[in-house]
Amino acid sequence: MKYRGLPLILVCAAWGMFWGAWSALLPALKDQLGASAVDLGLALTAVPVGAIPAMAMTGRLARGRERDTLLLACAAFGLSAAAIGWTSSPVTFGAALLVLGAASGALDVALNLTTGRVERESGRRLFQPVHAAFPVAVIVAAPATGLARQLGLGTTAVLAVLGALVLAASAALLRLPLGRGAVPGDGPGERRHWGAAALLGGLAACALIIENAVEQWSVLLLEEHRAASALVASAAPAVYMGALTAGRLVAQALPGLRLRPLYLVAGLGGGAGIALAGWGGGAGADAWAVPISLAGFALAGLALGPLVPAVLSRAAAGDPSGALVSGVSVVSYTAFVISPPLVAALAAGLGLPAALSALGLLALPLLARALLPR
């Protein structure tokens, strides 16, 4: 794993560094552009708009040339990340984010395809440690970016550094011993993979909707509904990401662990964890509300963390063509499009605590998959 897996871990870590820093940069970028909250929100939708078609296209083009595609996607992502710092209006910012989203989507699929091929060729499990690098990088990058801003570093400089880190990580791929393989053609067998991709990707999306909700809403929950300080509230995403990483490393340490028990653990622990985080101890438990919510986020992260890498690993093992991994990646990514409006709509009707607790219902498909016959 150390020889073949290290370049992939570095790429995933650099990718996570950017997205970890991104949320900390948004207030400064908003001021730099002179944009309103509405302008910023509209511009940010360009990321998934660019990502989803790029993911579908990359899945077809990368098969048989996984490493080279990942190298190009990583380089494109680094350059597009650095270019955002030079935008000067909401329109150019949105255009830059469209390119960034396309590069990020291509990197996502290419990374999964490359990891799957290395797993097949080496016989070693890599998805868990590779995907564990992302949340660790997010935990490190967010406060580091806040510190850089406090020291007076501007957005252009920070984004340039992040772009350089991504480019440096892409150079490590040159040492990945993976050549060009056979490129499979389309056929009825390959088209049938999309049925399995819809099922596996949909199950992975259940976990990712909760993950995205924690990233975007957990701080707001603790500040506005649990009376937590800004410092304590800001720990919520880090608690979730830390537990997510721990769950993936535990799964990596258990080579005999199969996918069905992971569905059961994700369904029980993930559903209970996010429900507990939203509930926060209920009325009359103010002193315990913050610790209970943080414990809920930790339980959800620990239980859900291993699921998506395990699903991708299973998809890679069952389909050397890469069509299944590509399909699962595309379908599961829709979670990041669905989650923000879903939580917002639930919060409008139920309030944010109940809205987050309601996401526990997404555990039901995972439990059903664990308990129903093959």
Average the pLDDT over 87-113 and give the result.
93
Confidence (pLDDT) at 374: 63
Confidence of residue 1 (pLDDT cuts 50, 70, 90): very low
Confidence (pLDDT) at 181: 55
pTM of the entire predicted model: 0.87
User: What mean pLDDT, rounded, does the chain reach?
Assistant: 88
Confidence of residue 284 (pLDDT cuts 50, 70, 90): very low
The answer to whether 292 touches 285, Cβ cutoff 8 Å, is: yes
**Per-residue pLDDT reduced to its tens digit, 65-75:** 899 999 999 99
Confidence of residue 34 (pLDDT cuts 50, 70, 90): confident
Confidence of residue 224 (pLDDT cuts 50, 70, 90): confident
**Local structure of residue 185 (DSSP, 8 states):** P
Q: How far apart are CA 250 and CA 261, in angstroms?
A: 13
Q: Is the pLDDT assigned to residue 243 strictly greater than 60?
A: yes
CATH level 2 (architecture), domain 188-374:
Up-down Bundle (1.20)
Q: Is the pLDDT assigned to residue 183 strictly greater than 60?
A: no
Q: How far apart are CA 275 and CA 242, in angstroms?
A: 19
Q: Is the pLDDT assigned to residue 280 strictly greater than 90?
A: no
Query: Is domain 1-174 classified as CATH 1.10.3720.10?
Result: no
Confidence (pLDDT) at 261: 94
Decide if 1-174 and 188-374 have a common fold: yes
Q: Is the pLDDT assigned to residue 189 strictly greater than 70?
A: no
For the chain, the structural domain boundaries read: 1-174, 188-374
Nearby residues of 118 by Cβ (< 8 Å), 6 or more positions away: 4, 5, 8, 124, 126, 176, 178
Confidence (pLDDT) at 180: 54
